């Protein structure tokens, strides 16, 4: 079945065909390409309908990202300025002291964030760094925030230790399709990513995993990336969708910008495939208009990074985000609601 034929078939189906918001396994790439190929209004109608069945569509979960260890990474991911292979001139740092992380957590919480995501630039987690990271996670959890870390590859035993310290989510993005993955990074494989996600699940942690739009991939690669995520059992609880932020000195610095409406389509398809997951509007918001962000929220994004920076890239300042929320009638999720309500259950009213 071609993508156009699939699109025609999907356009004529309803909730009874498996698009009503229930989880279902076995999404095929051609089927997902059919969703991508729907007329824009039809696609957004479908995704928003599913979004509304599963979530409070006017509520956005706010996360703040803190780099607890920056630069000097041994991986050669083509989009990343923190790689030691590239010439982005980002200075490598040591692990951030506990007191500084706690200060950042309190600042983020005061600004409205309910989740603190902490990233360390390295290939894989080392056992010698575990005690310090466990103290950080425990401290942030003690502030009443959800905790998420991205630390590269890790074993099941390491994941279990992180969970014991209070970790909620582990982030490990698949980035793109398996077929295109070797064009982006060669120091590890796509299977390495899946193995780490398996170790995270085995430890009982929630998964945060998504991808990047605009790295030179085509729509089939975006469909392949979403198929990988949607067919995990269960799918990730959190799915960040990033727009490439070109960083001078990296191999992808000169990639042409993707049509922002393709990002909106990617958000919409992610919402249809993973109705009960948080879909996060992540990197690239600095270059997005308010109108594009509004379309992303309508299409199904219900989480976003909030704060001045995303690791090494700029992010819209908090006052601008607050103004956008006011214009759109959106409100931020609060910690008490987050703890009381399971994923996938909309708030009353």
CA distance 348 to 269: 26
pLDDT at site 21: 54
CA distance 213 to 211: 7
Grouping H, G, I as helix, E, B as strand and the rest as coil, residue 110 is helix
Q: Which residues contact residue 227 at a Cβ distance below 8 angstroms, ignoring those fewer than 6 apart?
A: 27, 28, 29, 32, 273
CA distance 246 to 255: 7
CA distance 242 to 260: 11
CA distance 127 to 50: 42
Residue 153, phi then psi, degrees to nearest 5: -70, 150
Which sequence spans correspond to the domains of the chain?
55-340
CA distance 116 to 113: 7
Query: Six-digit token pair at 30?
Result: 């051609």
Query: Six-digit token pair at 183?
Result: 């064009």
CA distance 282 to 300: 13
Hey, CA dihedral for 335, 230, 305, 292, is it positive or negative?
Answer: negative
CA distance 76 to 203: 28
Query: How far does Cα 305 stand from its chain's mean position?
Result: 9
pTM of the model: 0.85
Consecutive 10-residue averages of pLDDT for the chain (349 residues): 45 40 80 97 98 95 88 71 64 85 91 89 85 94 92 93 95 94 90 94 96 94 96 95 86 84 97 96 88 96 76 59 91 59 38
pLDDT at site 308: 57
- Residue identified by tokens 């929220």 is 297
Query: Six-digit token pair at 270?
Result: 């992610």
Are 310 and 70 in contact by the 8 Å Cβ rule? The answer is no
Q: Which residues contact residue 340 at a Cβ distance below 8 angstroms, ignoring those fewer than 6 apart?
A: none
- Residue identified by tokens 């009982």 is 204
Query: Six-digit token pair at 205?
Result: 């942690």
CA distance 217 to 77: 14
* Residues known to be catalytic: 73, 77, 80, 117, 148, 208, 280
Classify domain 55-340 by CATH architecture: Alpha-Beta Barrel (3.20)
Q: Output Rg (C-alpha) for the chain, integer angstroms.
A: 19
- Residue identified by tokens 């469909």 is 223
pLDDT at site 316: 54
Count other Cβ atoms within 10 Å, centred on residue 224. 22
Helices (H), 183-289: 190-202, 219-230, 260-273
CA distance 218 to 240: 19
């Amino acid at each position: 079945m071609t993508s156009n034929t699939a699109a025609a078939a999907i356009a004529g189906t309803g909730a009874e065909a498996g698009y009503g918001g229930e989880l279902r396994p076995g999404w095929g790439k051609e089927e997902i390409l059919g969703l991508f190929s729907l007329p824009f209004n039809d696609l957004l109608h479908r995704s928003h309908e599913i979004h509304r069945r599963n979530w409070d569509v006017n509520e956005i979960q706010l996360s703040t990202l803190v780099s607890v260890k920056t630069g000097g990474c041994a991986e050669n991911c083509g989009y990343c300025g923190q790689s030691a292979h590239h010439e982005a001139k980002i200075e490598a740092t040591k692990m951030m002291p506990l007191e500084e992380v706690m200060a950042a957590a309190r600042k983020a919480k005061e600004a409205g964030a309910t989740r603190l995501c902490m990233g360390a630039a390295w290939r894989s987690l080392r056992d010698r760094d575990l005690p310090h990271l466990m103290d950080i996670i425990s401290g942030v959890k003690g502030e009443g925030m959800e905790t998420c870390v991205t630390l590269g590859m890790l074993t099941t035993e390491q994941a279990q230790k992180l969970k014991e310290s209070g970790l909620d989510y582990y982030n490990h993005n698949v980035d793109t399709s398996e077929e295109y993955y070797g064009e982006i990074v060669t120091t590890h494989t796509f299977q390495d990513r899946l193995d780490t996600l398996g170790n995270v699940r085995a430890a009982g942690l929630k998964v945060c995993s998504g991808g990047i739009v605009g790295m030179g991939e085509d729509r089939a690669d975006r469909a392949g990336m979403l198929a990988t995520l949607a067919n995990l059992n269960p799918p990730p609880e959190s799915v960040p969708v990033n727009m490439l932020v070109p960083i001078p000195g990296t191999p992808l610095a000169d990639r042409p910008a993707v049509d922002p409406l393709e990002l909106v389509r990617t958000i919409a398809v992610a919402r249809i495939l993973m109705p009960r997951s948080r879909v996060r509007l992540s990197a690239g918001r600095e270059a997005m208009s308010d109108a594009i962000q509004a379309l992303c929220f309508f299409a199904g994004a219900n989480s976003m990074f909030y704060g001045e920076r995303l690791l090494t890239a700029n992010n819209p300042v908090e006052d601008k985000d607050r103004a956008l929320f006011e214009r759109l009638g959106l409100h931020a999720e609060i910690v008490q609601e987050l703890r009381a309500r399971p994923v996938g259950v909309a708030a009353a009213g």
